[in-house]
């Protein structure tokens, strides 16, 4: 026997003083509201529930109060309306790849709107614009675009990442130095707001919301679809690697200094790359938009300065290169998507490192990182520089914060994982200390952090600051206007004024 919605709301009020009773009452109330509104849901403890509530980061498991699985915008609206009536926090979940499990709310008791049943990709050849539903994963988007006229956009290397989280908060990949971030390709978005209204956004429609979505989209509503300006996929691209003999601190300092000087002034627009380091080796890895012969010509100045050689190179078409960097994962993936890991991660965005900072970083790498036997890695994306499309975008064009050609040269991902069991309680100090070796020697306005590699150990005040920097005051004002009661909330969400 089902309770009426009015009775369920009354029970929520009566149970407010008891946390357990309150959760049960809210579950009853949200279930009744969703049932009345004909919003499809995962049945608790069903296979779908277990799949949709299973986080990518197994260190951070949370239990939702309910999981809606809409297939239409109207159902998303109804779900948001129910959340507001029951007074339960709601979170959209696209691919579920949040490092902090923010798609599950980042804490127990949230209402999850699982979007991956909404995964259609369409392409208009006349405008070269793709319309992508928010639950599509990057591999599916890349495959669909390539199959429709060999088009592309700035995806990353993990095919299971959801397009919404990736692009609304930046979206770096092996085309970003050439064409910009995924967020820079967004020309329109459909979003359901906290009052359950649905609005279209673009440079001409609701431009203030459009500005905020592009860089901080998870804070203002549930984006149900995005419009991307695509580019022609290069007919030939070349995967490459260069081994770096970074076995001591002096080698790291010398090699890093050479690379950052080259990146600042010389790295060609067609070159996309990163430094990947772990206990086994350190390499420059990348994707050159052109042939092997063109790569060899373009990379030779750096090789000469490093006294190095290309250790690996292979020419592919666009999707062949995507497949290469997935390391065996299926490219065109929707659901179920079962990749999980147990890890702690941090991020940074920095300028070229001064010599004292670089020495401290190199010392930490050799003395601390190389003695850590866990399965860690550091990725140093070659992000900025004179020829980077990312830092050519005006700093106030979007809510994404990191556009300064002088202060935003590298994007970092620090990642420490265990292959079995739980992450150790004393493990956090490893990456915290490594990041500190960078930031201690930099002014506050010279560095930031990237929310797509979210670190939930930061308090809300610090997280907002480092993710959004100078854009935070405007974003907080917009949060006050659009969602003053924080219906869309997670522990590091933008706070109203």
HEC letters along the chain: CCCCHHHHHHHHHHCCCCHHHHHHHHHHHHHHHHHHCCCCECCCCCHHHHHHHCCCECCCCCCCCEEECCCCHHHHHHHHHHHHHHCCCEEEECCCCCCCCHHHCCCCCCEEEECCCCCCEEEECCCCEEEEECCCEHHHHHHHHHHCCCEECCCCCCCCCEHHHHHHCCCCCCCHHHHCCHHHHEEEEEEECCCCCEEEECCCCCHHHHHHHHHHHHHCCEEEEEEEECEECCCCEEEEEEECCCCCHHHHHHHHHHHHHHHHHCCCCCEEEEEEEECCCEEEEEEECCCHHHHHHHHHHHHHHHCCCCCEEEEECHHHHHHHHCCCCCCCCCCCCCCCEEEEEEEEEECCCCHHHHHHHHHHHHHCHHHCCCEEEEEEEECCCCCCCCCCCCCCCCCCCCCCCCCCCEEEEEEEEECCCCCCCCCHHHHHHHHHHHHCCCCHHHCECCHHHCCCCCCHHHHHHHHHHHHHHHHHHHHHHHCCCCCECCCCCCCCC
What is the mean pLDDT of each successive set of 10 residues along the chain, which is 497 residues long?
Answer: 53 58 89 98 96 97 98 98 98 96 98 98 98 97 97 95 97 98 98 98 98 97 98 98 98 98 97 98 98 98 97 97 92 86 98 98 98 97 97 96 94 97 97 98 96 98 98 98 98 98
Per-residue model confidence (pLDDT) at position 335: 79
What is the reported pLDDT for 1?
Answer: 44
CATH numbers and ranges of domains, the chain: 21-114 (3.30.43.10), 121-233 (3.30.465.10), 236-316+341-457 (3.40.462.20)
């Amino acid at each position: 026997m089902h309770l009426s919605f009015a009775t369920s709301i009354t029970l929520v009020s009566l149970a407010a003083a008891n946390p357990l009773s309150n959760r049960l009452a809210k579950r009853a109330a949200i279930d009744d509201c969703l049932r009345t509104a004909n919003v499809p849901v995962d049945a608790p403890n069903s296979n779908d529930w277990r799949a949709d509530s299973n986080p990518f980061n197994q260190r951070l498991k949370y239990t939702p109060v309910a999981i809606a699985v809409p297939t239409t915008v109207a159902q998303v609206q109804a779900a948001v309306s129910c959340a507001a009536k029951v007074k339960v926090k709601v979170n959209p979940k696209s691919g579920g790849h949040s490092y902090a499990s923010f798609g599950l709310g980042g804490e127990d008791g949230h209402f999850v709107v699982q979007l991956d049943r909404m995964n259609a990709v369409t392409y208009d050849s006349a405008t070269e614009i793709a319309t992508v539903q928010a639950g599509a994963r990057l591999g599916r988007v890349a495959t669909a675009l390539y199959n429709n006229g060999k088009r592309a956009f700035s995806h990353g290397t993990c095919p299971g990442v959801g397009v919404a989280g990736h692009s609304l908060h930046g979206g770096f990949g092996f085309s970003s130095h050439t064409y910009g971030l995924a967020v820079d390709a967004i020309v329109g978005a459909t979003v359901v707001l906290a009052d359950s209204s649905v609005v279209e956004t673009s440079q001409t429609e609701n431009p203030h919301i459009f500005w905020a979505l592009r860089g901080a989209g998870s804070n203002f509503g549930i984006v149900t679809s995005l419009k991307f300006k695509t580019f022609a996929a290069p007919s030939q691209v070349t995967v490459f690697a260069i081994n770096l003999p970074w076995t001591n601190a002096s080698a790291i300092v010398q090699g890093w200094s050479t690379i950052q000087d080259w990146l600042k002034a010389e790295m060609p627009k067609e070159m996309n790359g990163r430094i990947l380091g772990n206990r086994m080796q350190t390499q420059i890895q990348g994707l050159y938009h052109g042939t092997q012969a063109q790569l060899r010509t373009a990379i030779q100045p750096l090789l000469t300065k490093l006294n190095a050689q290309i250790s690996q190179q292979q020419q592919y078409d666009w999707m062949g290169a995507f497949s290469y960097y997935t390391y065996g994962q299926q490219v065109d993936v929707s659901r179920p998507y079962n990749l999980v890991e147990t890890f702690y991660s941090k991020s940074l965005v920095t300028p070229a490192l001064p010599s004292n900072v670089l020495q401290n970083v190199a010392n930490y790498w050799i003395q601390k990182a190389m003695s850590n036997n866990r399965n860690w890695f550091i990725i140093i994306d070659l992000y900025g520089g004179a020829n980077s499309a990312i830092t050519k975008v005006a700093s106030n064009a979007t809510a994404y914060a990191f556009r300064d050609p002088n202060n935003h040269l590298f994007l970092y991902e620090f990642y420490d994982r265990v292959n079995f069991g739980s992450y150790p309680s004393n493990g956090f100090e490893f990456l915290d200390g490594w990041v500190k070796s960078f930031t201690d020697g930099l002014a506050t306005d010279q560095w930031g952090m990237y929310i797509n590699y979210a670190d939930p150990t930061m308090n809300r005040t610090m997280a907002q600051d480092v993710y959004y920097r100078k854009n935070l005051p405007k974003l907080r004002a917009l949060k006050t206007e659009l969602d003053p009661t924080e219906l869309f909330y997670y522990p590091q969400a933008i706070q109203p004024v």
